Structure 1
Amino acid sequence: MKGSPLPKAHSWIPSFRQGRTGKKIWKSRYMYLFVLPGLLYFIVYRYVPLLGSIIAFKDYSAFQGFIDSPWVGFAHFQRIFDNPEVVQVLINTLVLSFLQIAFAFPVPILLALMLNEVRQEWVKRFIQSIVYLPHFLSWVVVIGVVTLFLRSDGLVNNMLGAWFGIDSIPFLQMPSLFKPILVLEVIWKESGWGTIIFLAALAGVNPELYEAAVVDGASRLRRIWHITLPAIRSTVVILLILRLGNVLDNGFEQVFLMLNPYVMEVGNVLDTYVYFKGILQADFSFATAVGLFKSVVGLILVIAANRLAKRFGEEGIY
């Protein structure tokens, strides 16, 4: 019809394309499509379930549902600190986490520093592959291997009896050995993964810095102290901040599979306690309150550690 303008071919394009940010997004639209599956995963399986956290403030009943269950406010959070059993579980969780930070966290750094000094490339790759392989094993397999070695009729006790005449030692039933065994398991299984991260950071170091240090007469330890360690310092800080965010998360599978009645007093942590209370005893509201408490504490620690890192001149995670 005369006088009626024909629709433009690009009239369907959203108005945000006209803005500066919209132009950048549209220019990289195909890259964002690659991000979309991962983003949908976090939205569907991480953020949407957060709506269920409301039952931490209610006396939830499966028959009444989320909406009709009676509101109790912060009563379940008060139980976390009023119940002596929960206090002991919280202490167990913190002790185990700080033991892992103190002993398991530095091991990948030391391995990366040692591998970085290996000059034979095939030797470095071989060792790196060996230490990285346990990362692919499930905790069920790892705990199974540990049990075969440390049980009363296991390999270690058989060797101690045959070589030294020592009676069988109940390693897995000794409360004093429970946490050290867990830390050693984490070191053996996860150190290889951390080593790869630090080696990737060291790959960006300019080789001319080492050459200049050698010309100046710097020893190997001096080169490590003044060149290698500063190169991975920011990576160490970022990983430490992220680890502090999980200080109340010890990993359910590992601890649960290692638990037995003899070590329950020192081995029951928040993850397993939530399982016993929330699943086995159907106390869903209290279990959710404990999980929400863990998340809030982790968030506070991440923010505090990030601000502290920036105060000392590091970039932090945001």
Structure 2
Amino acid sequence: MLLHPHGAPPTTARAGRRGGTTEKGLPALRRSLRRHWQLYLLVVPPLLYFVVFKYVPMVNAVIAFKDYSVVFGVWGSDWVGLDNFRRFLSNPVFWTLVKNTFVLSGYYLIASFPIPIILALALNEVRGRLFQRTVQLVTYAPYFISTVVVVSMTILLLSPRIGLASEAFGFFGVSSVDFLGNPDYFRHIYVWSDIWQTAGYSAVIYLAALAGIDPGLHEAARVDGATRLQKIIHVDIPGIMPTAVIILVLGVGNIMAIGFEKAYLLQNPLNLSQSEIIATYVYKTGLLNADFSLATAVGLFNAVINLVLLLTVNAVAKRVTGNGLW
């Protein structure tokens, strides 16, 4: 047998190194668990959350391909293949649901994406710390108001009989407008009330990105005689561009998953033609009508569209800007 220069065959030496690494790895893991068990314990609740509320429902998505019966359970129900998807695609309300969801989500994305950026850039240029913190607090505070309370405030504000808007119109001699009963106003009410609630919170992310920009770039721009606007355009905006691209990709990836709660609470029989979206349809079909198979099929269809949009937009953003989720 040919020996390695150090006296052991190459294969034996490699095997010894692998075995030694394994033997050292397990005791090291045990020591790490004993030393940092508090940190590992903190990881357990998030893991349980994802297992119980994310991965287990993914397994039960097989209901979309079955004629689900509560009596026979998920795995005992009859297999029907793509029949539930055909029922949804052939439903007369299919295109209305898709159009309402896309239009509402697209409107929200286009309107809500630039406002936090503008707010963060403006706050970053404010020199008065007290004024800056006051504005940041005022814009950030609505985020902690629950959606139910925001919708209640909106209804009271826009009520045609007792609302503040009606009182203002009456003061100027203008007849009151039923904003909540007119379907043409639903999307505007939904989007701008949501922007009011979340713009301050979203601006914090961009403020953190602005804080990470090298101060030397601002000094160099100041030495070159750049104005505030030029510094914003050539220093601040490129500095927060990676963050903005990631948030945009996530926003487009969730374009079909627009919030159910606010849409359902603002919904009424008069504005149903524009307020009925896929999320509210799934709730009514699955929980109110107890058609769990169809509701699961619609939800799975929605998730697949979101996944395709996320992958597509991430690929485009990666190619155009060089930044993406992965």
Using structure 1 for the length normalisation, give the TM-score: 0.90
User: One-letter code of the match for 1:124?
Assistant: Q
Question: In the alignment, which of 200, 210, 213 is matched to residue 202 of structure 1?
Answer: 210
Aligned match of 2:167: 158
CA contact (8 A) 1:238 1:316 kept: yes
Say what the alpha-carbon RMSD is for the aligned residues. 2.0
Q: In structure 1, what is the equivalent of residue 99 of structure 2?
A: 91
| Aligned-partner Cα distance in 2 for 1:313–1:95 | 26
What does the per-residue CA deviation read over 1:159-201, in whole Å, with 9 as the maximum and x for residues that have no partner? 1112x11112111101111101111011101111110000011
Partner of 1:287: 295
Shift of 1:208: 2.1
CA distance in 1 between counterparts of 2:209 and 2:158 reads 37
Report the residue type matching 1:158 in the other structure.
E
Structure 2 spans left out of the alignment, 5+ residues: 1-20
Distance in 1 (CA, whole Å) between partners of 2:168 and 2:267 is: 25
Q: Which consecutive unaligned segments of at least 5 residues does structure 1 have?
A: 1-14
Q: Give the TM-score normalised by the residue count of structure 2.
A: 0.88
Distance 1:18-1:309 versus aligned 2 partners, 3 A rule: farther
2-structure distance, mates of 1:16, 1:77:
50
The whole-number CA distance in structure 2 between the counterparts of 1:132 and 1:41 is: 28
What residue identity is the alignment partner of 2:192? Answer: L
Are residues 1:101 and 2:109 paired? yes
**Residues 194, 16 of structure 1: CA spacing in aligned structure 2 closer, same or farther, 3 A cutoff?**
farther
Give the superposition deviation at 1:314: 2.4
Q: Does 1:61 align with 2:69?
A: yes
- In 2: Cα distance, 1:33 partner to 1:197 partner: 29
Structure 2 equivalent of residue 243 of structure 1? 251
Q: Distance in 1 between matches of 2:181 and 2:322?
A: 44
Q: How many percent identity over aligned positions?
A: 44
Instruction: Find the partner of 2:56 among 48, 71, 79.
Output: 48
Verify: 1:271 aligned to 2:270, yes or no.
no
Distance 1:16 1:37, change over 3 A: farther
Contact 1:274 1:290 in 2 (8 A): yes
Retained in 2: the 8 A contact 1:80–1:87?
no
Deviation per CA, 1:74-99: give whole Å up to 9, x if none.
11112232112122011100000000
Counterparts of 2:249 and 2:48 in 1: how far apart (Å)?
26
Work out which of the two has the higher radius of gyration on C-alpha atoms and give 1 or 2: 2
Amino acid at match of 1:86: F
Label 1:172 to 1:116 Cα distance change in 2 as closer, same or farther (>3 A): same
